[in-house]
Amino acid sequence: MSGPAYARTLAERARAAGATIRTNATVTGWAGDRVIEATTPQGRIRVEARAVVLATGARERPRSARLIPGDRPRGVYTTGHLQNLVHLRHGGVGRRAVVAGAEPVSWSAALTLREAGCRTVLMTTEYPRPEAPFLFTVPGRIFFGTRVATRTRVSRIIGRPRLRAVEVENLDTGERRIVACDTLVLTGDWVPDHELARLGGIALDPGTKGPVVDGALRTDRPGVFAAGNVLHPVDTADVAALDGAHVARSVLAWLRGRDTPAGQVPLVAGAPFRWVSPEVVRPGDPAPPRGHLLLWSDRYIPFPRIVVRQGGRVVARRRLWWPTAPGRVFRVPAGVLARIDPEGGPVTVGAEP
Ligand SMILES: Cc1cc2nc3c(=O)[nH]c(=O)nc-3n(C[C@H](O)[C@H](O)[C@H](O)COP(=O)(O)OP(=O)(O)OC[C@H]3O[C@@H](n4cnc5c(N)ncnc54)[C@H](O)[C@@H]3O)c2cc1C
């Protein structure tokens, strides 16, 4: 299904289920625990709900947040900005691009650039190997003629008013060189759109930077839930959609008066992981969405051994046959938590080669 067809299908299903969809509406804040305020083309509205689901997604950090020095020319985009320009507004970009990042979304940017008649001459990644699986990288090299420079960052932006080149730096040798290009796409480096959670005083996880949730996707505010990439930047669209089905069951249970189970065990990301989602498990709750814990690794380990510890004791060890790799979500079957003690305090999930 194409993206627009997929979006239309979901919108039709939501309407058929009785939802009112307000487009061009921005939720600006809270006027109570489950009361939101929004700005719409028809004016400001206030909606009081028995349950609220935050599903505000994630975005790529723009140039300013990445602190790349240099000129401020035209021709610098994030993938979201680029795809909006090319697919929705049918605007043109340049002819020769550098893409910062080598994640799956970076290849999505390269595809969009190709559609707009622009060749991706170089991709850069600060990691020792491309983040995207070789299924992206090998055909990308053959069909797009795109080289991936590892351990490399964009260190300067050059050109005014239009981009002329970027300077790239090898992080191991410190060597710098100039690459001529008229388009730069900054990909990956995700951050959840967590502003509403923050405004509402809902607990945020310093690792994911999204709201802290349990396996039922409840936040720490009763009746407020969160789902999709606001929780785990960034997973694929299918996973975000399935989070929706999972959270719907939790919302229905809440509306029917089911209480949150007492007691909770915090989950903590151990090396090489940056974060784990959900951050809390509750005895008596269903397994997390799709029966998996999601984690984000800073290190490539081809066949990692997962080690789960509680109170200094190893409670599970399991070899998995898929790699931990920077730039993509890593999934661990939630069964590794089967032997944790509900009263035993925080549980750390780590991995070793
Ligand atoms: C540029 C880009 C390309 C991607 N390409 C792919 C791909 O090719 N394949 C893939 O599987 N995944 C891709 N992804 C991952 C993508 O994030 C997921 O596919 C999916 O869209 C995430 O779903 P979500 O429901 O969590 O959030 P989103 O789909 O991002 O939806 C969040 C929604 O919340 C709205 N919102 C945010 N704040 C407010 C507010 N205050 N008030 C009102 N509305 C608000 C936003 O406008 C948006 O409509 C891509 C992501 C990006 C950014």
Q: Digits of tens for pLDDT over the chain (353 positions)?
A: 888 899 999 999 999 999 999 999 999 999 999 999 999 999 999 999 999 999 999 999 999 999 999 999 999 999 999 999 999 888 889 999 999 999 889 999 999 999 999 999 999 999 998 887 777 777 777 777 788 999 999 999 999 999 999 999 999 999 999 999 999 999 999 999 999 999 999 999 999 999 999 999 999 999 999 999 999 989 998 999 999 999 999 999 999 998 888 889 999 999 999 999 999 999 889 899 999 999 999 899 999 999 999 999 999 999 999 999 998 899 999 999 999 999 999 999 999 99
Q: Pull the structure tokens for residue 171.
A: 């992080």
Q: Pull the structure tokens for residue 129.
A: 């190997």
What per-residue confidence (pLDDT) applies to 230?
Answer: 98
Phi, psi angle pair for 18, to nearest 5°: 100, 5
What per-residue confidence (pLDDT) applies to 141?
Answer: 76
Q: From the CA of 55, how far away is ligand 1's center (Å)?
A: 9
Q: Which residue has the tokens 């999601």?
A: 294
Cα Rg of the chain (Å, integer): 22
C-alpha span between 11 and 31 (Å, rounded) = 27
C-alpha span between 254 and 216 (Å, rounded) = 10
Please name the residue whose Cα sits nearest to atom 15 of ligand 1: 236
Tell me if residue 294 falls in helix, strand or coil: strand
Look at domain 60-188 and name its CATH class.
alpha beta
Where in the chain are the domains? 1-49, 60-188, 191-352
**Which atom of ligand 1 lies at the shortest distance from residue 227's CA?**
26
Cβ–ligand 1 contact at 62 (below 6 Å): no
Q: Which helix (H) or strand (E) holds 315?
A: strand 313-319
pTM of the model: 0.93
C-alpha span between 213 and 227 (Å, rounded) = 9
Cβ–ligand 1 contact at 329 (below 6 Å): no
Q: Which residues, 6 or more positions from 283, have their beta carbon under 8 angstroms from its beta carbon? A: 261, 263, 265, 342
Out of 236, 239, 243, 277, mutate this one to test ligand 1's pocket (max ligand atoms within 8 Å of CB): namely 236
* pLDDT one-digit tens code per residue, 271-292: 999 999 999 999 889 899 999 9
Q: From the CA of 229, how far away is ligand 1's center (Å)?
A: 7
Cβ–ligand 1 contact at 168 (below 6 Å): no
Cβ–ligand 1 contact at 80 (below 6 Å): yes
Please name the residue whose Cα sits nearest to atom 44 of ligand 1: 26
